[in-house]
Structure 1
């Protein structure tokens, strides 16, 4: 329910990637909190029939943390990074060759004697989610093949979501009550479902 344009575009991209038996292009989802960015990431993985590894920008403190995650991905897996705008720049730099070339550049040693080793990674899909699009550096932003903005839901969509939630929770809900909750939810399913 809701985000119809985003879902339609993602369905086309997913069908194309599955038809080619390739990883889906990297996806950036942005918009206000509570609109379904994380849910969409998991749905993408389910629709692709692949595994998802989820983390957040603040949790990846060092380049080694990201390297450990990347080297444990399997072919076509999804790596979901929530709050991707909070990655530190050194970690972000490691992502660039991983996203572009499916490679991890490792520096061994320091100074003039340092050597660079390139480790091949399996093709994977990075899905980044952010509420702060403007805080993403242009080099990172430009490496996403698909960028989608999630918008607030209309009242009818929120009512439908609430009906579904009530059914799942086996809670009796009156139409007038659902309508009032939807009206006050500020277009955000997370707020409506509290």
Structure 2
């Protein structure tokens, strides 16, 4: 049996993937009462929490398929925001604070694969990866050798049972449902 996550962290919170897909999907999960944990967006761009909430609101209006204002307000209330460089230990100290004692977070890397190694290393070094799970989309790496190195990096920080690899194209319908 897998323990339920007590926080969701997604890197790339101000990116196109978050705007077009992640915020509408989170809204749908909240609407179906399947998501009721803190959601921590992490990004490099200098935005405020209120700016992130407004971006989520616009995202759901533009790309969402549901009209559920109560779920949208709930989603916005669950959102937290950490701004900082993905290679800076201070960003992950702020993330640890934003997690506010969460014991089983899930980290979703909605960032370019070239940033995966640095983020994985910082999650491990900061303690944010302890008892956590990580979701990455593949294909990742430029070739077999870089994919192998990335797998080694991830495996050095997370046990295999805590690593979820999603094929962006093959897993699209599964993730959306």
What TM-score, normalized by structure 2, do the two folds share? Answer: 0.40
* Relative contact order, higher structure (CA 8 A, sep 6+): 1
What TM-score, normalized by structure 1, do the two folds share? Answer: 0.37
Q: Which has the larger radius of gyration?
A: 1
